[in-house]
Amino acid sequence: MVNIITTKNVNVHYGDKKAIDNISLNFLKNNVTALIGPSGCGKSTFLRCLNRMNDVIEICKIEGQICMNNIDIYSNEIEVEQLREKIGMVFQKPNPFPKSIYDNVAYGPRIHGFTDNKEELDEIVNTSLNKAGLFNEVKDRLDDLGTSLSGGQQQRLCIARAIAIKPEVILMDEPCSALDPIATSIIEELITELKKSYTIIIVTHSMQQAARVSDKTAFFHLGNLIEEGDTSKIFTKPDNQKTNDYITGRFG
Amino acid sequence: MQHTDKNYEIQMNSINEKLIKMGSILEEQFNKALKVLSTRDENLANDIIDTDKQINDLNHDISDTVFQIIAMRQPMADDLRFLFCSIKIIRDLERIGDHLVTVAKKGYRINSSIPPEFIEKLEILGNKASVMTHDALNCLFERKLSQADKIAERDDIIDTLHGEFIKDVLSYMKQNDDYIPDSLSLIQISKGLERVGDRITNIMEEVHFLIEGKYSSE
How distant is the Cα of B16 from the closest Cα of chain A, in angstroms? 17
* Contacts of residue A248, Cβ cutoff 8 Å, sequence gap at least 6: B3, B75, B76, B77, B78, B79
Taking the C-alpha atoms of residue B50 and residue A55, their distance in angstroms, rounded to an integer, is 74
Taking the C-alpha atoms of residue B45 and residue B39, their distance in angstroms, rounded to an integer, is 10
CATH topology classification for A3-99+170-247? Rossmann fold (3.40.50)
Angle formed at CA B78 by CA B73 and CA B79, multiple of 5 degrees = 25
**CB-based contact A23:A224 (threshold 8 Å):** yes
Tell me the three state secondary structure of residue A8. Answer: strand
Taking the C-alpha atoms of residue A1 and residue B158, their distance in angstroms, rounded to an integer, is 51
Residue B146 has pLDDT above 90, yes or no: no
Q: Which amino acid makes up residue A156?
A: R
**Considering only CB atoms, which chain B residues are within 8 Å of A233?**
213
Q: Which amino acid makes up residue B143?
A: R
Residue B9 has pLDDT above 80, yes or no: yes
- Please provide the distance, in angstroms rounded to a whole number, between the alpha carbons at the two ends of chain B: 29
When scoring A205, A231, A248 by the number of chain B Cβ atoms within 10 A, the one with the most, hence best to mutate, is A248
Taking the C-alpha atoms of residue A11 and residue B145, their distance in angstroms, rounded to an integer, is 41
In terms of Cβ atoms closer than 10 Å to its own Cβ (0-12, 13-18, 19+), residue A125 is buried
pLDDT for residue A23: 98
**Considering only CB atoms, which chain A residues are within 8 Å of B72?**
none
Residue B110 has pLDDT above 90, yes or no: yes
Judge: B3–A244 Cβ closer than 8 Å, yes or no. no
Q: How many CA atoms lie within 13 A of A70 on its CB side?
A: 1
Among chain B residues, the shortest Cα distance to A252 is held by: B4
Residue A123 CA, distance from chain mean position: 24
CATH topology classification for B6-212? Methane Monooxygenase Hydroxylase; Chain G, domain 1 (1.20.58)
Q: Which amino acid makes up residue A11?
A: N
**Considering only CB atoms, which chain A residues are within 8 Å of B80?**
235-236
DSSP type of residue A38: S
pLDDT in tens, A72-125: 999 999 999 999 999 999 999 999 999 999 999 999 999 999 988 999 999 999
Helix residue spans in B5-144 (DSSP H)? 6-39, 42-73, 77-107, 116-142
pLDDT for residue B217: 77
Helix residue spans in A165-251 (DSSP H)? 181-194, 207-213, 231-234, 241-247
How distant is the Cα of A172 from the closest Cα of chain B, in angstroms? 24
Judge: A248–B74 Cβ closer than 8 Å, yes or no. no
pLDDT in tens, B21-72: 999 999 999 999 999 999 999 999 999 999 999 999 999 999 999 999 999 9
Residue B145 has pLDDT above 90, yes or no: no
H or E element that contains B181: helix B180-212
H or E element that contains A159: helix A151-164
What percent of chain B is predicted at pLDDT more than 70? 99
A247 reaches B (C-beta below 8 A): yes
Task: Report which of B213, B199, B200 is spatially closest to residue B82, judged by C-alpha positions.
Answer: B213
Map out the domains of chain B as residue ranges.
Answer: 6-212
pLDDT for residue B134: 92
pLDDT for residue B149: 66
**Which regions of chain A are under pLDDT 70?**
none
pLDDT confidence band for B122 (50 / 70 / 90): very high
B124 has which bridge partners?
Answer: none
Taking the C-alpha atoms of residue A160 and residue A170, their distance in angstroms, rounded to an integer, is 11
pLDDT in tens, B170-204: 999 999 999 999 999 999 999 999 999 999 999 99
A236 reaches B (C-beta below 8 A): yes
Q: Strand A169-173 and strand A87-90: pairing?
A: parallel
Taking the C-alpha atoms of residue B102 and residue B99, their distance in angstroms, rounded to an integer, is 5
Taking the C-alpha atoms of residue B61 and residue B73, their distance in angstroms, rounded to an integer, is 18
How distant is the Cα of A37 from the closest Cα of chain B, in angstroms? 15
Give phi and psi for A170, each to the nearest 5: -120, 125
Judge: A248–B81 Cβ closer than 8 Å, yes or no. no
Residue B206 has pLDDT above 80, yes or no: yes
Task: Report which of A65, A164, A180, A73 is spatially closest to residue A122, judged by C-alpha positions.
Answer: A164
H or E element that contains B212: helix B180-212
Judge: B76–A243 Cβ closer than 8 Å, yes or no. no
pLDDT for residue B114: 94
* Contacts of residue A189, Cβ cutoff 8 Å, sequence gap at least 6: A133
